[in-house]
């Protein structure tokens, strides 16, 4: 029996969800102890008897039994979850209640509630994301630090701070509350940032990056599948993630090299993920609401549906960027718009747009800003200027893959004479 590569991470998140339902969110660390205990037992038993046919079910059953032990031992001394704890006094009701917490639809629901609790607007976004990754995705501080290029100590602090805040709450966020609508955008934004971290991350570790994207998609799908949280904006967010993720294997080659859109082998884009993303985008079109996610997803859709860079509907893309700039102005959006304008109207127009970006100073450290100038200068035959910009981009490169990428582009600018 082969061990699934992410078994423990995935099951950790599900077990914590079930166990917090039983113990209460204020006993989160107790839930985590039980999970760790289940892992230790798994190691001892599996190495003697082999991996069971259904390792997930084995872990769940073990966690369930440990939970029963903990409750029987501590029910007089510890206050458990207010919603269910009165059922713990009698053996008649104890087992059914614990069983129910481990039912898959309950686990799904608890994960949603946990997601909303982690995305407390009183917590900084970086804390929200670290919490989501730790509790709902099972990543340890070390892995989170690796993905975010942050120090392990800093990440541990974020997680501790978040958990402290969770521990003081009486219960997990209630999805029947009226304030779901208020909290939902915060959750969407955290998932969006989580995805971007994976997709654009400066971390060179492609495995971690792919995993971050996959987890962001999984959680967003969880959000989309629930009637209370599956709004058009949620569907658009899920669509956007799928349409971007479909290009991920082509964007970073097996050797960890970045590949420009024009060089990507479109046949390696994930067709099923594209189809899924387009279906989600359709679904997001119910209602009149047009969110940032709708516009970004529509731009991504224009790219994945085009046969080539030249065959892309750049008129539509520019128009979408215009609308995006109107509701969410940012220099990076303006930069992408300028590149689209260059495709539509020619290199000179693109350069004019680049120069017109009002808050371009915020792009000073962003290597792809200089690279955009370089590409357009190269396109209109000014190789000396192009070389200079590429060299500047190279100096700003944030990792080895970016550096090699710009280095290669410098090589395309001809020799020095």
Partner 1 sequence: MSDYIYLFRTTADARRAAMGSPELAQQSMQRWLAWLRDLETKGHVKDRGQPLENEGKVVRGSKKVITDGPFPEVKDLVAGFMIVQARDIAQAAELAKGCPILEGDGAVEVRPVMAMNF
Lay out the site mask for partner 1 across 18-57 (x = CB under 8 A, - = otherwise).
Answer: ------------------x--xxxxxxxxxxx-x------
Return the number of the residue (39 or 366) whose C-beta is nearest partner 1. 39
Site for partner 1 in 151-190 (CB under 8 A): none
The answer to the question of residue 3 lying near partner 1 (CB under 8 A) is yes
Q: Of 6-14, 61-69, 285-293, 400-408, which part binds partner 1 (CB under 8 A)?
A: 6-14
Return the number of the residue (60 or 386) whose C-beta is nearest partner 1. 60
Taking CA atoms, 9 is separated from 15, 39, 222, 255, 404, in Å, by: 10, 11, 17, 26, 33
Return the number of the residue (48 or 365) whose C-beta is nearest partner 1. 48
| List 9, 323, 379, 404, residue binding partner 1 (CB under 8 A) | 9
Q: Is the dihedral of CA 223, 228, 230, 234 positive or negative?
A: negative
DSSP codes joined into one string, 38-105: HHHHHHHHHHHH---S-HHHHHHHHHHHHHHHHHHHHTTT----TTTGGGGSSHHHHHHHHHHHTSHH
Token pair of 241, please?
């993630």
User: What are the backbone dihedrals phi and psi of residue 258, each rounded to the nearest 5 degrees, phi first?
Assistant: -75, 145
Q: In whole angstroms, how close is the CB of 320 to partner 1 at the nearest point? A: 39
Token pair of 245, please?
């993720």
Lay out the site mask for partner 1 across 114-153 (x = CB under 8 A, - = otherwise).
Answer: ------------------------xxxxxx----------
The answer to the question of residue 11 lying near partner 1 (CB under 8 A) is yes
The answer to the question of residue 61 lying near partner 1 (CB under 8 A) is no
Burial of 55 (0-12, 13-18, 19+ CB in 10 A): middle
Q: In whole angstroms, how close is the CB of 202 to partner 1 at the nearest point? A: 21
Beta carbons of 375 and 341 less than 8 angstroms apart: no
State in Å, rounded, how far the first CA of the chain is from the last one.
63
Site for partner 1 in 77-96 (CB under 8 A): none
- Shortest CA distance to 188 belongs to which of 248, 225, 230? 230
Site for partner 1 in 358-377 (CB under 8 A): none
Q: Hey, how many other C-beta atoms are within 10 angstroms of the C-beta on 93?
A: 13
Q: Of 2-10, 164-172, 197-205, 403-411, which part binds partner 1 (CB under 8 A)?
A: 2-10
Q: In whole angstroms, how close is the CB of 69 to partner 1 at the nearest point? A: 12
Return the number of the residue (154 or 186) whose C-beta is nearest partner 1. 154
The answer to the question of residue 110 lying near partner 1 (CB under 8 A) is no
Return the number of the residue (9 or 398) whose C-beta is nearest partner 1. 9
Beta carbons of 348 and 340 less than 8 angstroms apart: no
Q: In whole angstroms, how close is the CB of 115 to partner 1 at the nearest point? A: 18
Query: How many amino acids of this chain bind partner 1 (CB under 8 A)?
Result: 27
Beta carbons of 188 and 240 less than 8 angstroms apart: no
- Look up residue 172 and give its DSSP letter: P
The answer to the question of residue 6 lying near partner 1 (CB under 8 A) is yes
Return the number of the residue (48 or 255) whose C-beta is nearest partner 1. 48
Return the number of the residue (140 or 185) whose C-beta is nearest partner 1. 140
Residue 316 makes CB contacts below 8 A (sequence gap 6+) with 302
Return the number of the residue (14 or 189) whose C-beta is nearest partner 1. 14
Return the number of the residue (141 or 237) whose C-beta is nearest partner 1. 141
Beta carbons of 62 and 11 less than 8 angstroms apart: no
Q: Which residues bind partner 1 (CB under 8 A)?
A: 3, 5-9, 11-12, 36, 39-49, 51, 138-143
């Amino acid at each position: 029996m082969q061990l699934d590569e992410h078994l423990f991470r995935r099951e950790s998140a599900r077990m914590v969800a079930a166990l917090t339902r039983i113990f209460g969110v204020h006993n989160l660390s107790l839930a985590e102890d039980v999970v760790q205990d289940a892992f230790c037992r798994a190691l001892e038993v599996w190495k003697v008897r082999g991996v069971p046919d259904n390792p997930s079910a084995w872990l769940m059953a073990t966690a369930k039994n440990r939970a029963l032990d903990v409750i029987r031992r501590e029910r007089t001394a510890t206050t458990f979850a207010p919603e269910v704890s009165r059922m713990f006094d009698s053996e008649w009701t104890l087992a059914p209640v614990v069983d129910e917490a481990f039912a898959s639809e309950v686990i799904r629901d608890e994960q949603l509630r946990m997601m909303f609790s982690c995305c407390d607007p009183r917590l900084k976004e970086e804390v929200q994301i670290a919490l989501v990754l730790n509790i709902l995705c099972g990543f340890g501080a070390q892995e989170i630090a690796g993905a975010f290029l942050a120090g392990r100590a800093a990440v541990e602090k974020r997680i501790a701070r978040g958990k402290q805040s969770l521990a003081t709450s009486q219960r997990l966020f209630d999805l029947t509350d009226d304030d779901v609508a208020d909290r939902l955008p915060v959750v969407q934004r955290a998932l969006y940032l989580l995805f971007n971290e994976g997709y654009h991350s400066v971390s060179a570790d492609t495995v971690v990056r792919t995993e971050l994207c996959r987890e962001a998609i999984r959680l967003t799908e969880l959000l989309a599948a629930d009637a209370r949280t599956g709004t058009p904006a949620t569907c658009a967010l899920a669509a956007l993630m799928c349409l971007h993720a479909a290009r991920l294997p082509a964007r970073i080659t097996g050797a960890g090299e970045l590949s420009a859109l024009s060089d990507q082998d479109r046949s390696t884009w994930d067709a099923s993920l594209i189809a899924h993303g387009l279906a989600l985008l359709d679904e997001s079109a119910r209602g009149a609401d047009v969110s940032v996610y709708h516009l970004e997803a529509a731009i991504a859709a224009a790219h994945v549906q085009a046969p080539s860079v030249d065959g892309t509907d750049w008129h539509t893309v520019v128009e979408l960027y215009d609308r995006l700039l109107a509701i969410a102005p940012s220099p990076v959006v303006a930069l992408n718009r300028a590149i689209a304008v260059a495709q539509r109207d020619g290199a000179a127009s693109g350069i004019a747009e680049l120069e017109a970006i009002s808050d371009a100073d915020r792009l000073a450290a962003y290597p792809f800003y200089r690279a955009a100038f370089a590409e357009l200068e190269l396109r209109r035959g000014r190789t000396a200027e192009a070389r200079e910009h590429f060299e500047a981009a190279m100096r700003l490169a944030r990792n080895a893959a970016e550096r090699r990428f710009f280095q290669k582009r410098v090589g395309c600018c001809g020799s020095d004479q």
